[in-house]
Homo-oligomer: A and B are copies of this chain.
Amino acid sequence: MTVTSQVKPEDEMLNWGRLILDGVSYSDMVGARDRPKEITWFDYWMNLANEYEQDAERKVALGHDLSAGELLMSAALCAQYAQFLWFDERRQKGQARKVELYQKAAPLLSPPAERHDLVVDGIPMPVYVRIPEGPGPHPAVIMLGGLESTKEESFQMENLVLDRGMATATFDGPGQGEMFEHKRLAGDYEKYTSAVVDLLTGLETIRNDAIAVLGRSLGGNYALKSAACEPRLAACISWGGFSDLDYWDLETPLTKESWRYVSKVGTLEEARQHVHAALETRDVLPQITCPTYILHGVHDEVPLSFVDTVLDLVPKQHLHLVVEKDGDHCCHNLGIRPRLEMADWLYDVLVAGKTLTPTMKGWPING
């Protein structure tokens, strides 16, 4: 593939707010920015991943598993941001390393992430489940990654959910992480969400009637479609998601490259056609029957017309709409508060069993 953009990944990826909230160390980002010229972006982060891993191995030998888990999680995030938005051989190297490091971290996290090796339509699909402390059964939240994020990156948000008494489940769907080599981005992500619902309903520690889905960015699109198509889901959060890709022209050059990469096509025009068809949800949104939280930032590349679409199509009685007037994509620039709001809303719906009244916060934006 020819990369048509001249923007360097590090220019576009340096969303410091996002990375820090997701657990990347501020000092490591400063180090990346100020690194010697002869060290590439990729090498800087991959070397750092090695350092964290070595530190973690030392910690395990000393019986300090808690620190080892934290350090391996940091290592996995370093590998993620090494490969982030590169579309050559670095991509798979970084992805493979992230998978390996997270797998080492999983049993050492607190609570641990237990690996379940599902196979869906002949494709291996590992699912990581974390169960909160205390007597179960517990509600659960299935977390969906986006265009550039995978099952290894939601650790911090998982912790907010776990702290509130809910389990978490993460996996890679079509076009993401470990599934990418087997299947490109497609129009059937909800099938894989449902496979995870199957898994969770079979676990004694999980409450079958209290399983939610939460997706970020492209994951927010998948979450909406999953909620529309999977009646067993008890709640849905679309965190910086979208209903369709009519706004393709507004995407940044590297995001378009990324769509092309995960679509496994040769040209941006083919990518546009493919994702436009695959990510259409408007036909199914009226089928949503569970409480649905939509978080949208006014400064997102996803245009405000998304909110109109939601108001048109998602049944009003289920809608909890939050529009942040100062928010960017996923409201990463607003700190932890939007994340606390989502975690507490999940607690209200799944743990406390509150019946929520339909809500519109921040909308209309000049209202």
Q: What residues make up the interface of A, taking CB atoms closer than 8 Å to B?
A: 16-17, 20-21, 25-28, 30, 55, 59, 62-64, 66-67, 70-71, 110, 163-164, 333-337, 340, 343-344, 347-348, 352
Contact = CB atoms under 8 A, between A and B. Distances in A.
Contact of A352 (B26, B63, B66, B348): B63
Contacts of A20: 20, 26
Nearest to A336: B25
Given A64-B344, A110-B163, A163-B110, A335 B26 contact: yes
A55 B341 CA distance: 10
A60 B16 CA distance: 30
B163 A66 contact: yes
Pairs of residues from A and B, 9 with the lowest C-beta to C-beta distance, nearest first? A27-B335, A25-B335, A67-B340, A64-B344, A20-B26, A17-B27, A67-B344, A27-B333, A17-B26
Nearest to A27: B335
Contact of A340 (B30, B71, B164, B352): B71
Of the candidates A28, A64, A70, the one having the most CB atoms from chain B within 10 angstroms of its own CB is A64
Contacts of A164: 66
A16 B64 CA distance: 28
Contacts of A337: 55, 71
Nearest to A332: B27
26 contacts: A16-B26, A17-B26, A17-B30, A20-B20, A20-B26, A25-B336, A26-B26, A26-B335, A28-B335, A30-B333, A55-B337, A59-B340, A59-B344, A62-B344, A62-B348, A64-B340, A64-B347, A66-B163, A66-B164, A67-B340, A67-B343, A67-B344, A70-B336, A70-B340, A71-B337, A71-B340
Given A26-B335, A64-B344, A70-B336, 17 more contacts: A16-B26, A17-B26, A17-B30, A20-B20, A25-B335, A25-B336, A27-B335, A30-B333, A59-B340, A59-B344, A62-B344, A62-B348, A63-B352, A66-B163, A67-B340, A67-B344, A110-B163
A71 B337 CA distance: 8
A164 B347 CA distance: 27
A67 B164 CA distance: 10
Contacts of A71: 337, 340
A36 to B, nearest CB: 14
Contacts of A348: 62
Of the candidates A26, A30, A55, A66, the one having the most CB atoms from chain B within 10 angstroms of its own CB is A26
A110 to B, nearest CB: 7
Contacts of A21: 26
Contacts of A25: 335-336
Nearest to A28: B335
A70 B344 CA distance: 13
A293 B288 CA distance: 58
A20 B20 CA distance: 9
